[in-house]
Amino acid sequence: MNFSDIGWPHVVTILVTGLLVIGAVLLHYEGLSWSGRLIKKRFLHHRAKIVVLIFAELGLHIAEIWLFASGYAVLTRVFGYGTIVPATILGAVTAGQSGLVPSLEVGFLDLVYFSAITFTTVGFGDFVPLGLVRFLSGTEALTGFVLITWSASFTFLEMQRYWGRD
């Protein structure tokens, strides 16, 4: 691919992906900041502080996964810049058996599932991104890895502060 091959669909995909990454990072930053202030309150027992922090981080990651799933929906359904297909259908089509496999409609919860396995870098391979939306999935994997690592580091620092205070 040459730079001259880049058109508006590519630019829109890059902009949507960039906005999603910025949104996820800002959400994570503000969520961790809020969680840090909450667990410093004196009304929580030090063990409860860690539990609150873990649930807050889980909530943040779930919100970020849904944010990226919304991005997949926008790019695939609104703009038509690719699709997410079940790997079984893709395998049957490439093997020339498209008449034997029913087409499965990928619903929004399928996009949430695909986003979750991409965000966590599990990548089971049961759904495959096709077209420009592949750029979003690769970027989501990197972003998810960074945000999960950030949460782990934050948790470690807070556990050092509160753990073993019995």
**Residue 76 DSSP symbol:** I
pLDDT tens digit sequence for 45-84? 777 888 889 999 999 999 999 999 999 999 999 999 999 9
Pairwise CA distance, residues 30 & 79, whole Å: 30
pLDDT value of residue 94:
57
pLDDT tens digit sequence for 80-136? 999 999 988 765 555 555 554 445 678 999 999 999 999 999 989 899 999 999 999
Query: Which among 159, 150, 157, 142 has a CA at the least distance from the CA of 57?
Result: 150
Domains and their CATH numbers in the chain = 3-162 (1.10.287.70)
pLDDT value of residue 166:
57
Q: What is the pTM of this model?
A: 0.88
